[in-house]
Amino acid sequence: MAGPATLGTPHPAVENRVIRVDITSKYFGEQQVLGPVRFDIRPGETVALLGPSGIGKSTILRIMVGIDTRFEGTVTRPDDMAIVFQEPTLLPWRSALDNLLIARPTLGADAARAALARVGLSGRDDAFPGQLSLGQQRRLSLARAFAGSPEFLVMDEPFVSLDPEMAEQMLALTEALITEAKPATLFVTHARAEADRLADRTLVLSGKPATLQEEAAEHGV
């Protein structure tokens, strides 16, 4: 087994800002969890990464955003990036407004309030996360991610723990925000219906070690 490569500073995206993933392998100890995984995401394109729980989807996500650097291969992506995790990951001691401004210091208070209003949190800028319902916390997490129109958006199964009604509300809101902002988006999910609804293309991860076994045709083709 070759030694793990280190991502370090992400390579500047080239070729019209295409995001490029070229993972040769990923090991946890002696166990290889990822085989060759290669794909691109074009500007404004939403790509779903679909597969069962534990297959390695979140591992690919962590590699792409630079959290996990111990892998063989390269990742090319822009620095201007936002992440939506499975849980809201808000700062509990900061207000809703501050949670946006800390993530995007150049945004400005007026733009941050507009971002809150866009997700249905108008007038809640002084509320702390503990004063918000779970649905409102999820909306705040989306507002933080889309504030400032990031070039690259990564979403890690953001609806996985929600009841069907709330999941549908968040899915509709996410769909509207992606349509408006048009970031290059990687949407990680185990639900085919979510992938079909949000994504322009769907990549299917399966096998041991996991590889991309299928790439569905683009919607409308």
Looking at residue 221, what is its pLDDT? 41
Looking at residue 5, what is its pLDDT? 43
Q: How far apart are CA 101 and CA 112, in angstroms?
A: 7
Looking at residue 137, what is its pLDDT? 92
Q: Is residue 61 part of a domain?
A: yes
Q: How far apart are CA 10 and CA 77, in angstroms?
A: 6
Looking at residue 161, what is its pLDDT? 77
Sheet strands (E) in the chain: 19-28, 31-34, 37-41, 46-50, 72-76, 81-84, 152-156, 184-189, 201-206, 211-215
Tell me, yes or no, whether 69 and 159 share the same domain: yes
Look up the pTM and report it.
0.85
Q: Which amino acid is at 207?
A: G
- The ranges of the chain with pLDDT < 70 are 1-17, 214-221
Give me the number of domains the chain comprises: 2
**Which among 89, 90, 39, 83 has a CA at the least distance from the CA of 65?**
83
Strands 184-189 and 201-206: unpaired
Which one-letter DSSP state was computed for residue 4?
A: P
Q: How far apart are CA 47 and CA 209, in angstroms?
A: 21
Tell me, yes or no, whether 116 and 135 share the same domain: yes
Residue range of the domain that includes 133 = 95-144
Decide: residue 172, CB within 10 A, 0-12 exposed, 13-18 middle, 19+ buried.
Answer: exposed
- Phi, psi for 58 (deg, rounded to 5): -70, -30
Last residue of a domain, one of 107, 129, 144: 144
Looking at residue 44, what is its pLDDT? 93
Tell me, yes or no, whether 139 and 157 share the same domain: no
- Phi, psi for 44 (deg, rounded to 5): 80, 0
Q: Is residue 12 part of a domain?
A: no
Tell me, yes or no, whether 206 and 156 share the same domain: yes
Looking at residue 15, what is its pLDDT? 52
Q: Is residue 4 part of a domain?
A: no
Tell me, yes or no, whether 125 and 168 share the same domain: no
Q: How far apart are CA 135 and CA 64, in angstroms?
A: 27
Q: Is residue 205 part of a domain?
A: yes
Tell me, yes or no, whether 129 and 209 share the same domain: no
Q: Is residue 193 part of a domain?
A: yes
**Which among 189, 184, 102 has a CA at the least distance from the CA of 147?**
102
Looking at residue 135, what is its pLDDT? 87
Tell me, yes or no, whether 171 and 194 share the same domain: yes
Tell me, yes or no, whether 159 and 196 share the same domain: yes
Q: Is residue 11 part of a domain?
A: no
